[in-house]
Chains A and B, each alone.
Chain A
Amino acid sequence: DIQLTQSPSFLSASVGNRVTITCRASQGITNYLAWYQQKPGKAPKLLIYAASTLQSGVPSRFSGSGSGTDFTLTISSLQPEDFATYYCQQLNSYPVTFGGGTTVEIK
C-alpha cells in the first residue's frame, strides 16, 4: 500500500498568513493526488485534484503543486473559514489511501 505522510500534523496561524502543508508518498504516484478540507462533523470537501487543479467553486487562494512523491497545498491568505483539517489522498493505485491530516487552528 502507498503510505502518505503529511506535515505538519498541526499548525497555528493567523488570518492573512500564508500556509503550506506537505504530503509525501512512499512511492511515486505521478500526479494522482487530491487535497480535501474537512470541518468537524462534516464530510471531506474536495479542493484540489491531479495535484494542482482547483476543483470548481474552490477559492483561488488554494493551490497545489508537486509530482512523484512530494506535494504541497498552499493557502495564500488564510481566511476564518479555512480553519479545518486538511487531508491528501492518492488515487494512483489501490487501495486508495489518505494522509494523516493537518489541523489548521487560529493563532
Chain B
Amino acid sequence: QVQLVQSGAEVKKPGASVKVSCKASGYTFTSFAMHWVRQAPGQRPEWMGWINVGNGNTRYSEKFQVRVTITRDTSATTAYMELSSLRSEDTAVYYCARWAPVAGGHTIFDYWGQGTLVTVSS
C-alpha cells in the first residue's frame, strides 16, 4: 500500500532553516511527482511547490521561491523540503502529497504524508 511517512516535529529559532523528509513506499517512487503543502494553525492549506521525482525538476510558489528548496533521493525513495530564513509566520504543519494523473487530463493529490509540525520560536 502507498505510504508517505514524514520526519518528526521540529522547533527552530527565527533565521534558521528546516529540512523535512517524506519517505515513500508501496509504489514506484520515480513515476509520480511530489508536492509540498503547508497549513498554519486554523488556516487554509497553502501550496509551496513540487518536484518531478523522475528528473528532479522543480516549480515553486512565488511566495516561497527564494526560501524553499525541494529535492529528492531516488535511492532512498525520499523527498525533502527545506525552508530557510524561518520566521514565526512559518509555524505550520508541512505535508508532502503525491501527484497522480487520472483520466481526462486531470491530476490529483491522492496520498498525503501525516504532516510535520514546524514551530518557529525564539
Contacts and interface: CB of A to CB of B under 8 A. Distances in A.
Interface of A: 32, 34, 42-46, 49-50, 53, 55, 87, 89, 91, 94-101
A21 to B, nearest CB: 14
B106 A49 contact: yes
A53 B59 CA distance: 27
Nearest to B102: A49
A44 B108 CA distance: 12
Interface size class of B (residues with CB under 8 A): 20 to 34
24 contacts: A32-B106, A34-B108, A42-B115, A43-B113, A44-B45, A44-B109, A44-B112, A46-B109, A49-B102, A49-B106, A49-B108, A50-B102, A50-B104, A53-B102, A55-B110, A87-B44, A89-B109, A91-B106, A95-B47, A95-B62, A96-B35, A96-B47, A98-B46, A100-B44
A55 B44 contact: no
Contacts of B104: 50
Interface of B: 35, 44-47, 59, 61-63, 95, 97, 102-104, 106-110, 112-115
Q: A interface, by DSSP: helix, strand, loop or mixed?
A: loop
B38 to A, nearest CB: 11
Given A32-B106, A50-B104, A50-B106, A43 B44 contact: no
Contacts of B106: 32, 49-50, 53, 91
Given A43-B114, A43-B115, A49-B102, A97 B108 contact: no
A53 B107 CA distance: 12
Contacts of B46: 98
Contacts of A87: 44-45
